[in-house]
Copies of this chain bind each other. A is one copy, B any other.
Amino acid sequence: MSESTQRKVAAIIGGGVIGGGWAARFLLNGWDVKVYDPDPQAERKLSEVLANARRSLPGLYDEVLPVEGKMTLHTEIEEAVQGASWVQESVPERLDIKLAVYPKIQAALSEEAVLASSTSGFKPSELAEGALRPGQILVAHPYNPVYLLPLVEIVQHPDSDPAVIQSAMDIATSIGMKPVLIKKEIDAHIGDRLLEAVWRESLWLVKDDYATTEEIDDIIRYSFGLRWAQMGMFETYRIAGGEAGMGHFIAQFAPALQWPWTKLTDVPELDETLVNKIVEQSDNQSGQYGIRQLERQRDDNLVAILRAIKGRGWGAGKLLLEDDARLRGAEQSGAIDWSQPFVSAHRTVPVDWTDWNGHMNEARYLDVFSNACDKLLAALGCTPDYVEAGHSFFTVENIIQHIDEAHAGDTVRVESQIIDAEGKRLHLFHRMLGEDGREIATGEQMLIHVSLETRRSAMPVEPVASIMAAAVEKQKHLARPDILKAGK
């Protein structure tokens, strides 16, 4: 990992929960961040969001993130936006306040930069009205917590500059987000319109005592919330339509649309009685947790869910796999020098790997070593194509020695050595090290090359046979670890 001399710069105008989330996402992806926020509490608030992001985001990846950028606070908008390739405006949701900051931003901002608003409700054309360069202004609407949830709605308006829109899409992707381009602007974009519909209906249900806030939350999270985390609504209903397809599903459920299943046509008045009822029910439901505690619980849950879906290579998890490939590409460039131990892992311990002893659970060490082994095997030519062709390695023995503890948030590095590769046998040794070089654990693996057809041992074929032979030869001069036990 090399610290780039020309760091990219993002400017954050308004450093609340949303602005802070943007700041954290840019910083942890290696950008420098310049913040403008007149609130005297801004620095404290930012540091709280940043602390949450630092403990949760890096562990989503199986690769290490770039070196964190630097954050500076500024008292003038013009100063904050100088040199920025992305400006994110997250000031309060009032059009007059928003329109007051754009002239100051554009006066000092380069023409190619992205100037994006976090607004939930305003259309980009409303924000661009009368601007110095309307084409530069767009909406980039994220979801809280911004540092963990990948979605950003990139909304264009009729006068948008296509180059700026493209740049926004590219940059969002490069910081681990999933940009969805909304080509035709609409009040509240897409996601918040859906949320608004559910929120409105829920308010009625609570007001009229059909359900409490806790019952509604349970109904969501034990049922369609789980469906929506991975397939959304239309794909879910496509399955419900079965072999007969989407048209069949619609035909089946169309009549219900006309039934009186909703009070959405009316808006409940949020009078004191209703507000108090919601506050009281919410206290009963979640009052035993502080907000910081709930935030961390939410983040831990999201990390666990995102990592789980990553294991399936689906939806938000597929995005994480693509990010891993990008991060790996940035770290590994050039040919492998087999005369040195192979760096087979460089990653951060996720928050959900902690056990009741307060440290990384023993089983996760084998997760790390097993992934490290896969990466080493890929470097030896045992790629998905090789496996697809029916050749692979099966592990016959694993020995893990625990030397020191690792904790959530620790960055660890695995150096792997080929001890021996004789015929069908491959003998590996992994050393897990902390960032300070301390030895945390060692893993020894004995593998056997197999035919996936017979599922029995078989000689390696090309290109693995040649690459492996050359690599073993070059590794021979390395000191042999003295705690070898495998392959007695």
Binding site for B on A (CB under 8 A): 17, 120-121, 143-144, 149-151, 153, 178, 180, 182, 184, 186-188, 190-203, 205, 209-211, 213-236, 238-243, 245-247, 250-251, 254, 256-262, 264-265, 267, 270, 275, 278-279, 281-283, 285-286, 291, 294-295, 297-298, 300-302, 304-309, 311-312, 314-316, 319, 352, 356-358, 361-363, 365-367, 369-370, 384, 387, 392, 394-402, 405, 452, 455, 485, 488
Contacts and interface: CB of A to CB of B under 8 A. Distances in A.
A400 B274 CA distance: 59
B398 A400 contact: yes
A404 B402 CA distance: 26
A217 B194 CA distance: 11
A238 B308 contact: no
A458 to B, nearest CB: 13
Contacts of A257: 196, 199-200, 203, 267, 270
8 contacts: A190-B210, A192-B261, A194-B216, A225-B232, A257-B267, A297-B312, A362-B370, A397-B399
A20 to B, nearest CB: 11
B399 A399 contact: yes
B246 A279 contact: yes
Ranked 8 nearest A-B pairs via Cβ = A217-B232, A225-B228, A308-B308, A151-B223, A229-B229, A151-B222, A197-B197, A213-B234
Contacts of A221: 228-232, 315-316
A151 B227 CA distance: 12
B182 A305 contact: no
Contact of A238 (B282, B316, B370, B455): B282
A230 B394 contact: no
Q: How many monomers of this protein are in the complex?
A: 2
Contacts of A225: 225, 227-230, 232
Given A232-B225, A308-B307, A215 B197 contact: no
A250 B261 CA distance: 25
A18 B399 CA distance: 47
Contacts of A151: 218-219, 222-223
Contacts of A200: 197, 257, 262, 264
Given A270-B250, A285-B234, A387 B356 contact: yes
A452 B358 contact: yes
Contacts of A231: 217, 221, 298, 301
Contacts of A120: 256
A201 B201 CA distance: 12
Contacts of A308: 304-305, 307-308, 352
B209 A184 contact: yes
Contacts of A202: 194, 233-234
Candidate in A243, A257, A305, A319 with the most chain B CB atoms within 10 angstroms: A305
**Candidate in A221, A278, A295, A363 with the most chain B CB atoms within 10 angstroms:** A221
A319 to B, nearest CB: 7
Contacts of A182: 210-211, 215
A482 B168 CA distance: 63
B394 A357 contact: yes
